[in-house]
Structure formats: structure tokens, C-alpha cells
Amino acid sequence: MAELAVAKRNLAWSLSHGGQETGSAHYPFMVALHTGLLVGCVIEVWLTARGFSGLLGWPMLALVVASQALRWWCIRVLGYRWNTRIVLVPGLPLVTEGPYRLLPHPNYLAVTVEGFALPLVHGAWLTAVTFTALNATLLSVRVRVEDEALRSARA
């Protein structure tokens, strides 16, 4: 919920500074997929009555915490530019510091790790596999759209 509040605030800031959104067509699918991840984690564990297995659960919880740390690092480095949407504000230089000096899309690494690790904390492997497969498809579109927007911003 904190991420959504930050994203809403940052979207308003970006739009008020001339930001233009790109690739909004896939956004509803992203929202549905991420909502499905959270719902699937609860429903699968509830329906299967799986208990917590420390052998799998603790390492997966560590990955969830690490993915959150990476995501909040991205949010901190991007500041008002971070958003759940693809919005570029004209005239701002591209960010090449923090995790962005190491990876072009570090937030998507955080999403990917969280997407398979979170369900596995309680053994919801079906949710983990389903989310991971669908997220890979979504990210192939999202990264392509974002890269095109970034290329056009550099031009």
C-alpha cells in the first residue's frame, strides 16, 4: 500500500511537470496480475492447508525482504520519477546511479524475485509458478515499451 501511495504522489508530480505516459494499455493487466499474486498466496495456502516449512519458508522470506530492499532502493534513487506507470518528464536526465548503474531495470528484478518467493514462503508453488510465467510475458512487453520510451527521451 505504501508503494501505491508513493506511485500516486509521483504520478501527480510527473504529470504536473509535463510528464507523458507511455504504454498504458498493459497497465490493467499488470494490476490484475499483482492482485492475483496476493490473492493466490492466500487462497492456495488456505485451500491446500499447507503449513509453514522452515526449510523453504525462511530462505524465501529472506528473498522477499531482499527484493523489498532493492525496490525501495530504486524508489529512493529515482525519487519523484519512480512510478508504477511509464511516465517520462521532459528535460530530466536519465538516472544512472544506485542500482541503475548495475542493471537497466532493477525494480523488475525485485518484482520477479518477490513474485516467486512470496508464495513459496508458505509453499504456494502453483501461485509462484503461475505468477512467474505470466509476469515473464508481461515484463517482455513492459521492458520493450519502457526501453522505447527511454530511447526516444535520449534522442
In a domain, 1, yes or no: no
Amino acid letter, residue 113? V
In a domain, 102, yes or no: yes
Stretch 80-91: mean pLDDT: 93
In a domain, 38, yes or no: no
In a domain, 79, yes or no: yes
In a domain, 148, yes or no: yes
Vertex 1 angle, CA 116 and 112, to 5°: 20
In a domain, 85, yes or no: yes
Q: What is the DSSP string of the chain?
A: -HHHHHHHHHHHHHHHTT-EEE-GGGHHHHHHHHHHHHHHHHHHHHHHTPPP-HHHHHHHHHHHHHHHHHHHHHHHHHGGG--SSEEE-TTPPPP-SGGGGT-S-HHHHHHHHHHHHHHHTTT-HHHHHHHHHHHHHHHHHHHHHHHHHHHHHH-
- Asked whether 13 and 81 are in contact (CB, 8 A), the reply is no
Tell me: the pLDDT tens digits for 45-68?
999 988 889 999 999 999 999 999
Give the per-residue pLDDT at 155. 64
pLDDT above 90: residue 154: no
Give the per-residue pLDDT at 1. 79
Domain that holds residue 106: 52-155
- Asked whether 127 and 37 are in contact (CB, 8 A), the reply is yes
Distance CA 125, CA 130 (A): 8
Instruction: Please give the mean pLDDT across all residues of the chain.
Output: 95
In a domain, 129, yes or no: yes
pLDDT above 90: residue 113: yes
In a domain, 65, yes or no: yes
pLDDT above 80: residue 35: yes
pLDDT above 80: residue 75: yes
Counted domains in the chain = 1
Distance CA 23, CA 26 (A): 6
- pTM of the predicted structure, to 2 decimals: 0.91
